[in-house]
């Protein structure tokens, strides 16, 4: 598990930083802090090659660049979780939750496994070409982020790829400032910036865009992934201990409200995407705060038309159950696995030809032996990620018409 045989070329360079792939990294230490083992995920997480760490005290690595982690790890009587500050080779610091366990035998050996990254600070990999930074958090400021957003949107539209934006607001920051003091409020914002860095699996695209507002840009992500990322952030912040035990009784809770929007489903420009995400954030706050809300342009419209896998020899995938600007639910007894991207084609009532889309399966409902009490039909929910030329407008035109004058027999309209 902890082998360290490496070629000369590998020994001469630090491993690349890959945050989410590295979670679950493990290392071994003894009660004195000597590092006995260090796996490949830890190398990716911290940037430290194992040959510079293993066999040495955690404070005296071969490169002479500081400690592997702050403090000491206790020898536990039974397995438990602790929080630890890991110091990476590039100088950044990771607050992590670690599962520790005492190993059998003498020497007080401890196995430690990283469960999740809580915050990240001082990370040089997030410095991009947009050099205007917020002084408190070190993140991009609003003006820099606006340029970054427009560049990312242009690239997404040019390459036919999705793009998602999350806006996050710190709930009732003014109350935190009033109760705990302005310095405590600033510390909350700085630590939130670290949480956002640690929770994002993409470089850059994170900014402070207001006094208590943050933005997270997600290239190659649609609404489903944006919702999952926002939900993970909300949960992490809700559980995170921003204040010490002595202040826990009087400290107000720190929570986030988050709104998300995505291209191409919700916007036709970078400014559109920002407005839609802001509308979703406003909705989350109006609904009671500490929640995630995705922008919805119009409700889904029930319609039943055949859906085909779009190829040189189209094959029937199933029949639509409902349709929206951002996706379709396809009624089929054999749904495709979640995460699969499919090229699809389907006709629209009262319109000639078929529309062509590429979508990702974000939800499946398998066939049930008995009727479902929840009323769900078997099939798969597909989120649109790319449209053919003019196909997006064709879908929206159909949906607008169906809202103003509902179709009485969509199947007959297609077969006519």
* Per-residue pLDDT, 15: 38
Two tokens, residue 329:
């639910």
301-415, CATH topology level? Thrombin, subunit H (2.40.10)
pLDDT at 291: 94
All structural domains of the chain with their residue ranges? 8-121, 127-294, 301-415
> Residues near 388 by Cβ (< 8 Å), separated by ≥ 6?
355, 356, 357
Q: Is 353 left (phi over 0), alpha (psi -120 to 50) or beta?
A: left
How many H-runs (helices) and E-runs (strands) does the chain carry? 11, 17
**Number of Cα atoms under 13 Å in the Cβ half of residue 222:** 20
Which pair of structure tokens corresponds to residue 102?
């005492």
Question: How far is the C-alpha of 39 from the C-alpha of 57, rounded, in Å?
Answer: 16
- With a threshold of 0.85, does the pTM exceed it? no
- State how far Cα 144 lies from the chain centre: 21
**Cα–Cα distance for residue pair 85/66, rounded to 1 Å:** 13
Mean pLDDT by 10 residues, the chain (416 residues): 35 40 75 88 84 83 72 89 88 88 84 85 43 79 89 85 93 92 92 85 76 93 88 92 76 93 88 93 91 82 92 86 89 84 91 89 77 71 84 86 59 39
Alpha carbon 30 to its chain centroid, in Å, reads 35
The answer to whether the CB of 321 falls within 8 A of the CB of 306 is: no
SS3 call for 315: strand
- ∠ CA 40-337-353 to the nearest 5 degrees? 130
Q: Is 399 left (phi over 0), alpha (psi -120 to 50) or beta?
A: alpha
Class of domain 8-121: alpha beta
Fold of 127-294: Alpha-Beta Plaits (3.30.70)
């Amino acid at each position: 598990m902890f082998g360290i045989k490496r070629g000369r070329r590998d020994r001469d360079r630090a491993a690349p930083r890959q945050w989410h792939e590295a979670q679950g990294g493990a290392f071994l230490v003894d009660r004195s802090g000597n590092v006995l083992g260090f796996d490949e995920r830890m190398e990716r997480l911290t940037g430290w090659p194992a040959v510079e760490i293993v066999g040495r005290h955690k404070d005296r690595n071969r490169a002479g660049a500081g400690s592997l982690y702050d403090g000491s790890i206790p020898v536990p009587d039974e397995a438990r979780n602790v929080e630890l500050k890991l110091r990476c080779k590039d100088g950044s610091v990771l607050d992590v939750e670690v599962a520790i366990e005492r190993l059998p035998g003498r020497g007080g050996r401890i196995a430690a496994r990283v469960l999740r990254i809580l915050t990240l600070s001082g990370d040089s990999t997030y410095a991009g070409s947009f050099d205007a930074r917020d002084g408190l958090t070190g993140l991009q400021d609003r003006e820099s982020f606006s340029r970054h957003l427009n560049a990312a949107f242009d690239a997404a539209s040019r390459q036919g790829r999705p793009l998602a934006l999350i806006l996050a607001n710190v709930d009732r920051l003014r109350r935190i400032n009033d109760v705990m003091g302005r310095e405590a409020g600033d510390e909350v914002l700085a630590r939130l910036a670290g949480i956002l860095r640690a929770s994002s699996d993409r470089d850059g695209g994170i900014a402070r865009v207001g006094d208590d507002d943050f933005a997270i840009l997600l290239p190659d992500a649609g609404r489903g992934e944006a919702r999952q990322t926002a939900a993970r952030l909300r949960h992490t912040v809700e559980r995170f201990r921003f204040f010490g035990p002595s202040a826990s009784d009087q400290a107000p809770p720190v929570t986030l409200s988050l709104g998300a929007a995505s291209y191409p489903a919700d916007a036709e420009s970078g400014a559109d995407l920002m407005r839609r995400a802001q509308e979703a954030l406003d909705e989350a706050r109006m609904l009671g705060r500490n929640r995630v809300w995705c922008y919805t342009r119009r409700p889904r419209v029930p319609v039943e038309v055949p859906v085909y896998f779009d190829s040189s020899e189209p094959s029937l995938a199933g029949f639509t159950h409902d349709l929206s600007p951002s996706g379709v639910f396809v009624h089929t007894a054999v749904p495709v696995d979640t995460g699969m991207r499919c090229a699809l084609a389907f006709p629209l009532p009262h319109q000639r030809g078929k529309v062509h889309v590429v979508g990702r399966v974000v939800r499946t409902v398998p066939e049930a032996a008995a009727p479902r009490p929840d009323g769900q039909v078997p099939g798969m929910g597909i989120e649109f990620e790319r449209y053919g030329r003019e196909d997006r407008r064709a879908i929206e035109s159909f949906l607008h018409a169906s809202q103003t004058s509902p179709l009485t027999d969509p199947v007959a309209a297609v077969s006519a």
